[in-house]
Amino acid sequence: MSFSKTIIHAELLYDGKRKSTDATIVVENGKIVDVSKKKYKSGIIGIVTPAFIDPHSHIGMERQGEPKEESEVDDTLKTITPMQNPVDSIYFDDRAFTEAVDFGVLYSCVIPGSGNLIGGKAITIRNFALNRNGAVVDDFGFKMALGYNPRAGYKSKPGRHNTRMGNASLLEKEFSKVLRKEKQAKIKKEKALFHLHSELNGKKFSNQEMLQNKAWINDEYKLALSAEEWALFELLTVQKTIKVHVHKEDDALYLIDLKKKYNLKITAEHASSIHNVEIFRELLKNDIPVVYGPMSSLDYKVELHKASYKNVIPLMDSGVQFGLMTDHPVVLAHHLRDSLKYFLIQEMSPEKAISLITFENARILNLEDRLGTIETGKDASLIVWNQDPFHLGAFPILVMAEGNIIRN
């Protein structure tokens, strides 16, 4: 990969927040170094948007052209598996990656499916990576699921709960157990350190012996919990965000109760059957962003029977922060832009609509310092279109990923 200065003239610029005309973008060493009205000679002319970001995807885990049996979205051995990393189940030769990049979807937050209560990690990746080396952008957090999915299929998964109340009790039992074990280990550690300092005052140890004893005490603390329990502890102590699968209103309200009880940092994923503006306002009040969608998919289960494209009306009216997903392969990743039509129908401005799959998704994924807008200092990941991207025939004439032209 080599970087040089690239100058792009945007006849129309959707920068992720606003819309402007006749702008010049200067890219150097993988970064945007200037966005202005300055005049430069440029052979690259078109309509420009930031690269698109899909914040909820299973791309590469359930692959195009492979039978369903090859899917690696859900592991069936256990229902609480916080250490599972979706990157370990991705094949980067999945055709979906090529098609996503062709349409400017350069980044995806990949997650396990929702067949388990806690399915594993949520990892943001580069869709343009050749393989897993260099693919990871960020270890965002964890995936959790409420509602129908984690209780479905219990007949083929012995020992699973078949009710939401059963799963809720199991979830809180595991949360409480981990918090209790860590607290007990911490008390033991603090007591040991207290006694060590007391003995130091009596001059029983040299400084080197003191340091060695402290190391042993800290090691003992770390060994008090298993690696899986430490992952749950990380989830419970606001160190990472939890992406929570939830469709129905009652499950959304339980999610709010769970957040309050354990002080969790969470996003509500899907929210497709929420049709009451007050539920979205409760999510807003409790600082829970929504990763909405997928749009234009088959409502194949009972918890989706209230799902409708018209639910974007209460979503928009509520003021809650939200972005849009594909849930690939439920909706193929390269169709992410297509979901914007439902918001344009409700008279959302084009620049605000573009922000839903650029700036808002970057903000939800904590990537707004690098991606999501075309601004000085950001990574130069952008798309040059042959015409306005809201036109049915719009197609990228150039795709730039972190300063490197990968399609033209």
d(CA 211, CA 216): 9
Q: Domain limits of the chain?
A: 1-51+372-408, 52-168+233-370
**CB neighbour list of residue 30: distance below 8 Å, 6 or more residues apart:** 3, 379, 380, 402, 403, 404
Write b or e for each residue in 370-391: b if 16 or more Cβ atoms lie within 10 A of its Cβ, otherwise e.
bbbbbeeebbbbbbbbeeebbe
Is 312 in contact with 280 (CB distance < 8 Å)? no
* Pairing state between β 404-407 and 396-401: antiparallel
Average pLDDT of span 50-67: 96
* Cis peptide bond upstream of 396, omega within 30: no
What's the pLDDT band for 240 if we cut at 50, 70, 90?
Answer: very high
Query: Which bin fits 258, alpha (ψ -120 to 50), beta or left (φ > 0)?
Result: alpha
User: What pairing do the DSSP bridges indicate for beta strands 404-407 and 105-110?
Assistant: unpaired
Contacting residues for 345 by C-beta, under 8 A, at least 6 apart: 309
Query: How high does pLDDT run on average in the chain?
Result: 94
pLDDT of residue 41: 84
User: Could you report the per-residue pLDDT of 13-49, keeping only the tens digit for each?
Assistant: 999 999 999 999 999 999 999 999 998 888 899 999 9
What is the Rg, in whole angstroms, of the alpha carbon atoms belonging to the chain? Answer: 24
Q: What are phi and psi of 172, to 5 degrees?
A: -70, -30
The packing angle between helices 277-285 and 249-262, to 10°, is 10
- Order of strands, sheet of 382-385, starting from the edge strand that comes earlier in the sequence: 31-36, 19-28, 6-14, 44-50, 382-385, 396-401, 404-407
Q: How far apart are the first and last CA of the chain?
A: 16
pLDDT digits (tens, 9 = 90+) for 316-357: 999 999 999 999 999 999 999 999 999 999 999 999 999 999
Q: Which residues pair with 50 in a beta bridge?
A: 382
Cβ-contact 118, 81 below 8 angstroms:
yes
Instruction: State which amino acid sits at residue 55.
Output: P
Tell me which amino acid residue 16 is.
G
Does pLDDT of 227 surpass 60? yes
Q: In this structure, what DSSP letter does residue 270 have?
A: E
Q: From residue 110, how far is each of 68, 141, 142, 186, 390 by CA, in Å?
A: 18, 11, 10, 34, 26
Q: What is the Cα–Cα distance from 160 to 170, expressed in whole angstroms?
A: 10
60-83 tens-digit pLDDT: 999 999 998 999 999 988 999 999
DSSP 194-221: HHHHHHHHTT-S-HHHHHHHHHHHHHHH
Q: Does domain 52-168+233-370 have CATH number 3.20.20.140?
A: yes
Contact 193, 140 (CB under 8 A): no
For residue 159, name the pLDDT band (cuts at 50, 70, 90).
confident
Dist CA 146 CA 165 (whole Å): 10
Mean pLDDT of 120-144: 97
CATH superfamily ID and name for 1-51+372-408:
Urease, subunit C, domain 1 (2.30.40.10)
Which amino acid is it at 287? D
What pLDDT is recorded for position 203? 66
331 CB neighbour count, 10 Å cutoff: 22
Give this prediction's pTM. Answer: 0.95
pLDDT tier, 1 (very low <50, low <70, confident <90, very high otherwise): very low
3-state secondary structure of 33: strand
- Nearest alpha-carbon partner for 228 in 150, 120, 143: 120
CA dist 183 and 189 (Å) reads 10
Q: How far is CA 196 from CA 188, 192, 204, 207, 212, in A?
A: 12, 6, 9, 12, 11
CB 255 within 8 A of CB 244: yes
